[in-house]
């Protein structure tokens, strides 16, 4: 036997057992054995360790009419807390969840600068507050994941954020040096896709999620992992050209998809034409309710160009599930049916096309879920989405 084999097998068995407990929420030792084919002795030894470590707890079912009341196992949700951060160009959003992915704190801080030194101060200040608040629980803050609206390499170095004009920034190292907690950086669209997989689409192994807020990003989950491409830059689908020689884009090209079908393109146009600096979704909803012809025409164009890009994505990737994350689509009547009506190519194949039910929090929740996954060291999380 090679030295370390027993320890490695023990680690694998622990991961299998934890994954099953998280997936089921409440489960007995006997049912873990049935689901995993591990022996009762192996499960008993592992469970004893996990209870001693404070990661799982035992609960006796009170309303059980036949035989002895079974002892059920569940994840100790209060053993530690995860922090997800969405770093966008005009604000930073923070969400803290327990180990079951349920939010317990959230905050949004507006920013009006792209200066790295100023933004990192905001990040450190807020992280330190959360770190102190949850210091008394068993594992404290178990991990922090930042969502980046730009190019993040496999080395977790920020290579480019168009809106902030950041190039070659090692935010992970700078934060870890100050905070002393594991920091992970990931593309925002990838984290939204991860949230869809973890909280909603548990049986899907081939999922695409397009986020349409400040730009257009594509998160890709394939076989329970991110598809990142060679350097980690895949998914920048917003810079696919849909109108040759069209509107100029910050990336240097003209006619990029996100200049026509991102929510920011709608907000920028209406802010300019209606001379409203602080335009909100409520304004757009009001105009739609009033039957504003210009806004309705703008939304129809939004859907038209969105459909062009989606057709390309479907033909390229043949997804099982394709999720669209957009508040405007949730607001606009029959948006999904109108999109599907534009996807009439005989070679376009997908099983489900959906508008996200998680909404704008998907990025932060995905970030928290990824921190939990790293902490528990399990291959995939399946968590319920109720009451989030």
* pLDDT value of position 214: 86
Look at residue 95 in the predicted model and tell me its pLDDT. 98
- Of the three residues 57, 75, 93, the one that is the final residue of a domain is 75
What pLDDT is attached to residue 63? 62
Residues 367 and 329 in one domain: no
CATH of the domain at 144: 3.30.420.40
Is the residue at 215 inside a domain? yes
Contact 43, 32 (CB under 8 A): yes
What was the pLDDT predicted at 273? 94
Q: What total of structural domains would you count in the chain?
A: 3
pLDDT of 60 reads 75
Is 280 part of any domain?
A: yes
The domain containing residue 330 runs over which residues? 201-356
Q: Are residues 237 and 130 in the same domain?
A: no
**Do 88 and 223 share a domain, yes or no?**
no
* Residue 1, pLDDT score: 38
Specify whether 43 is located in the same domain as 104.
no
**The three-state (H, E, C) secondary structure of the chain, written as one string:** CCCCHHHHHHHHHHHHHHHHHHHHCCEEHHHHHHHHCCCHHHHHHHHHHHHHCCCEEEEECCCCCCCCCCEEEEECCCCCEEEEEEECCCEEEEEEEECCCCEEEEEEEECCCCCHHHHHHHHHHHHHHHHHHCCCCCCCEEEEEEEECCEECCCCCEEEECCCCEEEECHHHHHHHHHCCCEEEEEHHHHHHHHHHHHCCCCCCEEEEEECCCCCEEEEEECCEECCCCCCCCCCHHHCECCCCCCECCCCCECECHHHHCHHHHHHHHHHHCCCCCCCHHHHHHHHHCCCHHHHHHHHHHHHHHHHHHHHHHHHHCCCEEEEECHHHHHCCCHHHHHHHHCCCCCCCCCEEEECCCHHHHHHHHHHHHHHHHHHCCCCCCCCCCCC
pLDDT profile of the chain (388 residues), mean per 10: 71 94 93 93 95 93 65 95 95 97 96 95 97 96 95 90 90 94 93 95 91 91 86 84 92 92 95 92 96 96 95 89 95 94 77 91 96 95 74
Tell me, yes or no, whether 276 lies in a domain.
Answer: yes
The pLDDT, as a whole number, for residue 387 is 44
pLDDT at 59: 86
What confidence score (pLDDT) does residue 232 get? 76
Do 206 and 344 belong to one domain?
Answer: yes
Q: Is residue 382 part of a domain?
A: no
Residue 341 belongs to a domain: yes
């Amino acid at each position: 036997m090679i030295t370390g084999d027993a320890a490695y097998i023990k680690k694998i068995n622990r991961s299998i057992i934890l994954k099953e407990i998280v997936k089921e929420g409440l489960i007995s030792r006997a049912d873990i054995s049935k689901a995993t084919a591990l022996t009762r002795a192996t499960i008993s030894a592992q469970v004893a360790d996990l209870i001693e470590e404070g990661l799982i707890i035992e609960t006796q079912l009170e309303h059980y009419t036949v035989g002895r009341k079974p002892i059920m196992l569940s994840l100790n949700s209060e053993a530690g807390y995860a922090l997800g951060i969405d770093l966008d160009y005009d604000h930073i959003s923070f969400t803290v969840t327990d180990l079951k992915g349920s939010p317990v704190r959230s905050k949004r801080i507006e920013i009006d600068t792209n200066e790295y030194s100023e933004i990192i101060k905001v990040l450190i200040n807020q992280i330190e507050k959360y770190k102190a608040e949850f210091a008394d629980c068993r594992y404290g803050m178990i991990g922090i994941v930042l969502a980046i609206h730009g190019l993040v390499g496999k080395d977790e170095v920020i290579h480019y954020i168009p809106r902030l004009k950041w190039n070659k920034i090692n935010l992970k190292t700078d934060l870890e040096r100050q905070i002393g907690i594991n920091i992970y950086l990931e593309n925002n669209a990838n984290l939204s896709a991860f949230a869809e997989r973890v909280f909603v689409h548990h049986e899907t192994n081939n999922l695409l999620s397009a986020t349409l807020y400040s730009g257009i990003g594509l998160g890709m989950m394939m076989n329970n992992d991110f598809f990142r491409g060679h350097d980690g830059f895949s998914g920048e689908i917003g810079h696919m050209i849909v109108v040759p020689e069209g509107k100029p884009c910050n990336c240097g090209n003209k006619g990029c998809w996100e200049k026509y079908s991102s929510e920011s393109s709608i907000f920028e146009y209406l802010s300019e034409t209606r001379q409203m600096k602080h335009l909100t979704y409520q304004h757009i909803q009001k105009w739609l309710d009033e039957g504003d012809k210009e806004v309705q025409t703008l939304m129809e164009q939004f859907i038209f160009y969105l459909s062009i890009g989606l057709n390309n994505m479907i033909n390229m990737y043949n997804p099982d599930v394709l999720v669209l994350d957009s508040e405007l689509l949730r607001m606009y009547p029959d948006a999904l049916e109108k999109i599907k009506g534009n996807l009439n190519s005989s070679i376009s194949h997908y099983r489900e096309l959906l508008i996200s039910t998680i909404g704008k929090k998907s990025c932060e929740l995905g970030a928290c879920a990824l921190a939990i996954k790293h902490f528990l060291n399990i291959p995939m999380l399946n968590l319920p989405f109720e009451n989030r």
